[in-house]
Amino acid sequence: MTRENTRYKSQNVSLWASLAFAQTPVFKGEKVDRLKEVKEIIQTLLGSQVFYYVVLMLGIAIVLLFLYNRRKDISKLEVQLVKDDTWFVTRDDNNRVGIVVSIHLYNKATRGVSIVDCKLSGYSARELPEDVHLVDSEGEQKLDFPEYRHFSKEQGYYLGPYSSETLWLYYESRTVTMKNLLQAPLVIRDSEKKRKSIRVSIPRHADQIAIYKEMAKIW
């Protein structure tokens, strides 16, 4: 008798569940106003105190991040890329990409800036490199480095107050590319762990592009 009662109650529950599901808009084929549901959700969120607390905390976090970045920025240092003396080549002697970046610095502050490193996409500026030679159909061609002051991480550089200087930096990468243009962030760091960053575009040296075009005609 107990088993029959249990089975009867189970059947009643299933029947009620089926009737309840049959009354839903989806089962009846009625259209569901999604836009109305979204509006109701938004109104519920706007009317919640938790929402305002979240917005307030996000605003505070953004302000703190802005103040932190401003404090870490070398605000009085102006950096300009010298495009005519900025280039890269695929070196034939070590099968690496040699990158030359020239920048003009102007310190507008009343105190000097001691530059300890200039990183290009994570790479530190190297010491004075060996000569770069390109090989073409007529032989070897030597590329001239810029005549500015050379900067490396090992040497560093001190830029006095209200003074300017043009530096050239050298980098090497093992990642060989056939692209004719590289783009990367250049980050200058000083002895106080402050930084100044710009995004630079570095074209392949025109002489190497000419050599590649000549080789393509022969092939």
CA pair distance 100, 49, nearest whole angstrom: 56
Note whether 103 and 124 are within 8 A (CB): no
Note whether 128 and 98 are within 8 A (CB): no
**How many of the other CB atoms lie within 10 Å of CB of 49?**
7
pLDDT at residue 80, rounded to an integer: 97
Give the pairing of strands 113-120 and 87-90. Answer: unpaired
Give, for 209, the enclosing helix (H) or strand (E).
Answer: helix 206-218
Give, for 173, the enclosing helix (H) or strand (E).
Answer: strand 164-173
Give the pairing of strands 149-151 and 157-159. Answer: unpaired
Give the pTM. Answer: 0.68
Closest by CA to 186, choosing from 210, 170, 165, is 170
CA pair distance 29, 23, nearest whole angstrom: 10
pLDDT at residue 59, rounded to an integer: 73
pLDDT at residue 47, rounded to an integer: 66
160 alpha carbon, distance to own chain's centre:
30
- Joined together, the tokens standing for residue 71 give 């404090």
CATH numbers and ranges of domains, the chain: 2-71 (no CATH), 77-218 (2.60.40.10)
For residue 126, the one-letter residue type is R
CA pair distance 127, 119, nearest whole angstrom: 13
pLDDT at residue 208, rounded to an integer: 93
- Cross-strand partners of 115: 157, 190
CA pair distance 194, 161, nearest whole angstrom: 16
pLDDT at residue 95, rounded to an integer: 86
Is residue 135 classed exposed, middle or buried when 0-12, 13-18 and 19+ CB atoms within 10 A define those classes?
Answer: exposed
pLDDT at residue 184, rounded to an integer: 95
- Joined together, the tokens standing for residue 172 give 């090497």
CA pair distance 71, 172, nearest whole angstrom: 31
pLDDT along the chain (219 residues), means of 10: 49 49 50 67 68 71 58 85 96 90 96 95 92 84 94 94 97 91 96 93 95 81
- DSSP string computed for 104-152: EEEE-SSS-EEEEEEEETTEEPPSPPPPEEEEETTEEEEEPPPSSEEE-
- Helix and strand numbers (H, E) in the chain are 5, 12
